[in-house]
């Protein structure tokens, strides 16, 4: 790793990049990045480490919001992508595509229950769009029950399922017939279901809501209710899937089998974007009368499918589910130990596997802790629907000694917040 620039040129490159971000992309995000200390330029990444143009290294605690499960630039995925690139990166869309069917076959082998068929697209939101359309098509009903705080993406259908007003209000009217109930409450779901209900859509653990883990019997109960009421269960594993929570899919913790499941993020191996929705045969049948009813020009492209197949093989071959479970416990317990001495700063630490949320006692504290963590060489981000929760979703290939460095860095960052606490909040 390294750059060919001297110190002066590097500084100029950073300033120019920030300026272009302001001038041509997103002025307010540019301001926010500068404010939080993220006004540097990423250069390259390997494993669990990102390097910027100054040569500074960061342990990637954010993990691209659960994209980099197998680490940055895993050699097996890079090799598979390079080979495919030299042969045929995008599909003609007129012939059969071997990389796509090979990936679908592998997914059918590892997916829970009877999920057998896959449709590939390019992002999480698109996968959710497809899942909702499939549910409506298969049931000939329209209502979708979602949950408050849920995050399913920002395209119109996915946004309608998303449960936070701030992202929805400016774009109304959204897609009709969506109802939101409390996450973790099976009775609320049962009450919301009526004769017009097509499906219930749930994240097994709400990610953007602040790493919210439901009561242990929640998903089992929802499964029972959906089966009894003949309503489809869509499980969104876009953030939780591919080993993140210590199992290949988070529903496996509860022994629940979805009718439809969405995937994206970690499925790409962190190299080429991909999204997918899967379905059981009884549901998939609804697509048969018109084989072109759901299509995507770039969806299922050979490059992305070769990457995803290699990425799944890495998760299996390197035992990354087991590693996430073991290292997740270690990180969770270490952060909980930290909470003991700083209860006025950290109000909760929760998670499953390497999907961990550290909840701050007050909203303003993140503005100190996140930039301090960055100075410690740790990337850190809030969850999108809950600015009091800092998430830890590092690559599952992170080592124990890197986790020790993370905890030491968080401890110093929390110490800084502690020393500024009374100045900020007028109490000690």
Ligand X SMILES: Cc1ncc(COP(=O)(O)O)c(C=O)c1O
- Burial 102-136, CB ≥16 within 10 A → b, else e: ebbebbeeebbebbbbbbbbbbbbbbbbbbbbbbb
Query: Which of the residues 51, 141, 265, 309 is marked catalytic?
Result: 265
Shortest Å, Cβ 386 to ligand X: 13
Task: Give the SS3 label for residue 55.
Answer: coil
Taking CA 327 as the corner, what is the angle to CA 245 and CA 41, rounded to the nearest 5 degrees?
85
Whether 265 is a known active-site residue: answer yes
Q: Name the token pair of 343.
A: 């209860």
The residue among 298 and 326 lying less far from ligand X, judged by its C-beta, is 298
Stretch that binds ligand X, among 108-116, 175-183, 231-239, 336-344 (CB under 6 A): 231-239
DSSP code for 382: E
Q: For the segment 37-66, give every residue that binds ligand X (CB under 6 A).
A: 65
The residue among 218 and 421 lying less far from ligand X, judged by its C-beta, is 218
Binding mask 234-273 for ligand X (x = CB under 6 A): --x-xx------------------------x---------
Stretch that binds ligand X, among 82-90, 124-132, 300-308, 341-349 (CB under 6 A): 124-132
Q: Rg of the Cα trace of the chain?
A: 22
Stretch that binds ligand X, among 23-31, 108-116, 177-185, 233-241 (CB under 6 A): 233-241
Rounded to whole angstroms, the Cα distance separating 225 from 230 reads 8
Phi and psi, residue 79, nearest 5°: -65, -45
How many Cα neighbours within 13 Å face the side chain of 94? 1
Stretch that binds ligand X, among 89-97, 133-141, 203-211, 220-228 (CB under 6 A): 203-211
Task: Give the SS3 label for residue 218.
Answer: helix
Query: Which of the residues 236, 259, 309, 323 is marked catalytic?
Result: 236
Shortest Å, Cβ 240 to ligand X: 7
Q: Under the criterion CB under 6 A, does residue 221 sit at the interface with ligand X?
A: no
Binding mask 65-104 for ligand X (x = CB under 6 A): x---------------------------------------
Q: What is the DSSP string of 107-171?
A: HHHHSSTT--EEEEESSHHHHHHHHHHHHHHHHS--EEEEETT----SSHHHHHH---HHHHGGG
Q: Under the criterion CB under 6 A, does residue 152 sit at the interface with ligand X?
A: yes
DSSP code for 213: P
Please identify every residue annotated as catalytic: 151, 236, 265
User: Which residues make up the interface to ligand X (CB under 6 A)?
Assistant: 65, 123-125, 128, 151-153, 203, 207-208, 236, 238-239, 264
């Amino acid at each position: 790793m390294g750059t060919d620039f001297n110190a002066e040129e590097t500084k100029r490159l950073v300033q120019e990049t920030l300026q272009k971000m302001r001038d041509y992309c997103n002025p307010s995000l540019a301001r926010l990045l500068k404010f939080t200390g993220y006004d540097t330029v990423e250069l390259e990444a390997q494993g669990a480490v990102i390097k910027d143009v100054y040569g500074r290294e960061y342990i990637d605690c954010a993990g691209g919001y659960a994209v980099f499960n197998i680490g940055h630039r895993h050699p097996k995925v890079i090799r598979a992508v390079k080979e495919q690139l030299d042969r045929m990166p995008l599909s003609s869309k007129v012939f059969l595509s071997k990389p796509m069917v090979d990936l679908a076959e592998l997914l059918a082998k590892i997916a829970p229950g009877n999920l057998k068929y896959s449709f590939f697209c390019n992002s999480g939101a698109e996968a959710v769009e497809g899942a909702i359309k499939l549910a409506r098509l298969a049931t000939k009903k329209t209502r979708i029950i979602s949950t408050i705080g849920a995050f399913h993406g920002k395209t119109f259908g996915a946004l309608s399922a998303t449960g936070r007003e701030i992202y929805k209000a400016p774009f109304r009217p959204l897609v009709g017939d969506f109802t939101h109930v409390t996450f973790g409450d099976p009775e609320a779901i049962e009450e919301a279901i009526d004769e017009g209900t097509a499906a219930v859509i749930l994240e097994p653990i709400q990610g953007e809501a602040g790493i919210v883990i439901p009561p242990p019997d929640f998903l089992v109960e929802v499964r029972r209710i959906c089966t009894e009421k003949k309503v489809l269960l869509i499980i969104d594993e876009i953030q939780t899937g591919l080993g993140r929570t210590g199992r290949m899919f988070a529903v496996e913790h509860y022994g629940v089998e979805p009718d439809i499941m969405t995937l994206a993020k970690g499925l790409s191996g962190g190299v080429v974007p991909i999204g997918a929705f899967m379905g059981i045969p009884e549901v998939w049948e609804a697509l048969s009368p018109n084989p072109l009813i759901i299509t995507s020009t770039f969806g299922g492209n050979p490059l992305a499918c070769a990457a995803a197949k290699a990425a799944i093989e890495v998760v299996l071959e390197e035992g990354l589910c087991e590693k996430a479970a073991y290292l997740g416990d270690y990180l969770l317990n270490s952060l909980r130990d930290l909470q003991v001495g700083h209860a006025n700063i950290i109000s909760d630490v929760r998670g499953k596997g390497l999907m961990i949320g550290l909840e701050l006692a007050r909203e303003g504290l993140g503005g100190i802790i996140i930039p301090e963590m960055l100075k410690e060489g740790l990337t850190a981000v809030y969850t999108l629907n809950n600015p009091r929760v800092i998430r830890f979703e590092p690559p599952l290939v992170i080592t124990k000694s890197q986790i020790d460095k993370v905890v030491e860095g968080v401890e110093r960052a929390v110490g800084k917040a502690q020393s500024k606490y009374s100045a900020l909040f007028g109490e000690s």
